[in-house]
Amino acid sequence: MHLTREEELVLDGEKGESLRRAMEILAALGDIYGAEKLIPISSVQIAGVSYKTIGPAGLEWISDLKGKVKVPSVLNPAGMDLSRWKEMGIEENFAQNQLAVVEAYRSLGISTDCTCTPYLLRKDAACRGEHLAWSESSAVSFANSVIGARTNREGGPSALAAALVGKTPLYGYHLDENRLPTHKIRVEADLKGSDYGALGHLVGKVVGSGVPRFHFRQRPALDELKSLGAAMAASGSVALYYFGDDAPFAHEPLEEMDVGPKDIREVYEMNAPDEDVDVVALGCPHCSPGELERLSSLLSREKVKREFWICTARGIADKCPHLVEKIERSGAKVFCDTCMVVSPASDRHRKMMTNSGKALAYIPGLCKIGVAFGSAEDCVRVATRRD
């Protein structure tokens, strides 16, 4: 990859050790993927925040870095609610290490919002046509597909390196030729809510790392696109999809797939809840204000009989205190800064019920517990049921 004179000086260590290490990561990535050069980016979203996933080696690596990020940068969910971790049953030792991780990122000038939905917090988190370096797979999918920005699915270290340098190598989804649809998906069903998570679960398995172009009967809502993209990124590794009129129609995808009501129904039937469910968790990706509102009305006049977590960004919860209060009157907990997949709080349970196609794919492997899938209404029914 070609480096400018200034970039070479950074690689030679003229601007300090942290920037040298960051540039080394970017240069290596650029060489591996055949990037022509580095390009400026407008924002970064950094995974590798939960102490459960990065452990002591990750904490040490981040703590060693010095300097400040060059572009607005935000963190992915951590392993716990940063203020209510005791209510999650998190152990003191884990909590102290997790707080140290977040502090190390903060000292680099990174916003500690800890969310996979930074686009819900700030409208300018990403704009159409901008180049970004985002990590979390559902955020990457939303940025590429719904916002129309351009980002690869960065690893934690490469996103952090991009944040420190303010640039990323030009390859992958930054280039037009890698953004062409590979699959045409005809959806012959009227879908709503978690059906999109079920659809993503099915399509991701078939498409893998391809670029699906959906043909829907009706245009999905933004929250539905959020869950569709998240599910496809988890059951496959889809980072970009098309769902509207902005697909490059001149290019005909190579493969076709039809999805009907029976296919969607089967996802629910194969993952139906049973008596083993001892925790219900929603908010993967993090809940929007609209989803919190829906849950507050589903839970009004209800009392939950098993643990019920709703995950969202702290900035969203702070904007809707009345909804949080209404939800928590039922006994459910609205946890911020974290999620059911990256928190060790999930690991002590037997089986989790969720309305998320992404959590459906990840919970068994990452938390080593069982998983059940249903709509938000089903989840509330199970959470409030007396066995």
Binding site for ligand F3S (CB under 6 A): 76-77, 116, 136, 138, 230, 284-286, 311, 339, 341-342, 358, 362
Pair type for strands 370-373 and 183-187: unpaired
CB nearer to ligand F3S: pick between 30 and 193: 193
Tokens of 147: 């916002």
The pair phi, psi for residue 282, each rounded to 5°, is -120, 160
Residue closer to ligand F3S, measured from CB, 22 or 340: 340
* Residue 103 vs residues 15, 45, 77: alpha-carbon distances, Å: 23, 16, 14
Q: Closest CB to ligand F3S among 10 and 143?
A: 143
Q: Which residue, 232 or 342, has its beta carbon nearer to ligand F3S? A: 342
Q: How far is the CB of 34 from ligand F3S (least distance, A)?
A: 30
Give whichever of 77 and 169 is closer to ligand F3S, judged by the CB atom. Answer: 77
The residue among 200 and 210 lying less far from ligand F3S, judged by its C-beta, is: 200
Of 131 and 286, nearer to ligand F3S (C-beta) is: 286
Beta carbons within 8 Å of 245's beta carbon, 6+ residues apart: none
Q: Tell me how far, at minimum, the Cβ of 313 lies from ligand F3S, in Å.
A: 10
Minimum Å distance from CB 311 to ligand F3S? 6
Q: How far is the CB of 229 from ligand F3S (least distance, A)?
A: 9
Minimum Å gap between C-beta 358 and ligand F3S is 5
